[in-house]
Amino acid sequence: MDKLFRIFELTKDLVDDIRSRTYEAHFHDFEELILITQGSLEHFIDFKVEVIQASAACYVSMNKMHKLIPHEDLRGWVINYQPEFIPNSNLNFYSNFFTSTNIPLSTGACLNKFTSLCEIIQGEYRQEFADNTTIRHLVEGLLAMVDAERKRNLPMESVTKASQITTFNNFLKILEENFRRAEGVSFYAGKMNMSERNLNLICKNNFQKSVSEIIETRKLIEAKTLLLHTNKSISEIGFELGYNEKSYFTRVFHAKMDITPSRFREMTQSIIS
């Protein structure tokens, strides 16, 4: 993408046009937020397919291989932007730990607010001399609203949400500093001064995944990046991520991705080329 930012509405005409064409899985060099206000779509991401129903927000970070197949009734908005345009969003931070980030949105007044804000952003974007600072602030507000919806949907009592969200984010920051090490749940629980059980409970409440699942997913996302952007061998990548044996790294990768690391590299490089 040769622009810092762009926005477009998923109208009937555009959806019909997309459905009439053949699109292959691809990588892109920008961040993407898809707001689904009506209908649904199939999302192929990293060799897995999921169906996303309205109303929802789907966040796809750059360098993830994906393909969208809109259903006929799909309506909504798509926002693309370069990482430097909005460098510090929570959704971008979470994308380091989860293959995809899909967030249900409330219907009614809440959905109307998202639609109205997208219309305002599009109006500014279409100005002859569009002001990027204004657009940035508006999009930052939109991303904050999506993250607020994520927090509201957490299966916790209101009085415990704030403290658990803070603890969960602290865990992710510690994980980001240590995920290349061969450390398990007990290491992170010790760093957090809490029991493994409580840390697992917080992770389940916040992202419906256990601590070990989040650790493995972070390693997997880094492995895919290294397979895609370096010439390091499978053994070197596994060792860098705390796997002492190539065979074990390959088994873990295959169990999560349904494809071996070498085959993943071969297929993704063919897509890029």
pLDDT, one tens digit per residue, over 178-217 is 999 999 999 999 999 999 999 999 999 888 889 999 999 9
pLDDT, one tens digit per residue, over 132-164 is 999 999 999 999 999 888 888 777 666 577 788
pLDDT, one tens digit per residue, over 94-103 is 888 876 788 8
Q: Which residue has the tokens 């002001």?
A: 131
Residue 272 is predicted with a pLDDT of 65
Q: Where are the domains of the chain?
A: 5-152, 157-273
Backbone angles phi, psi at 58, to 5 degrees: -120, 120
Task: Show the CA angle centred on residue 151, arms to residues 147 and 152, nearest 5°.
Answer: 115
pLDDT, one tens digit per residue, over 213-233 is 999 999 999 999 899 889 999
Give the DSSP per-residue string, 247-267: HHHHHHHHHHHSS-HHHHHHH
- Which whole-number Å values give the CA distances from 133 to 46, 84, 120, 147, in the listed order? 33, 13, 14, 21
- Which whole-number Å values give the CA distances from 249 to 98, 109, 207, 210, 213, in the listed order? 19, 47, 24, 20, 15
Residue 250 is predicted with a pLDDT of 95
pLDDT, one tens digit per residue, over 245-266 is 889 999 999 998 888 999 989 8
Average predicted confidence (pLDDT) for the chain: 89
Residue 153 is predicted with a pLDDT of 79
Pairing of strands 40-45, 66-70: antiparallel
In the predicted model, is pLDDT for residue 113 greater than 70? yes
Q: Does domain 157-273 have CATH number 1.10.10.60?
A: yes
pLDDT, one tens digit per residue, over 5-64 is 999 999 999 999 999 988 787 778 889 999 999 999 998 887 778 899 999 999 988 877
Residue 51 is predicted with a pLDDT of 93
CA distance 203 to 168: 6
pLDDT, one tens digit per residue, over 65-93 is 788 899 999 999 999 999 899 988 888 88
- Domain 5-152, second-level architecture: Sandwich (2.60)
Helix (H) or strand (E) holding 92, with range, is: helix 90-94
Residue 158 is predicted with a pLDDT of 61
Residue 156 is predicted with a pLDDT of 64
Residue 216 is predicted with a pLDDT of 93
Residue 157 is predicted with a pLDDT of 62
Mean pLDDT, residues 108-112 taken together: 84
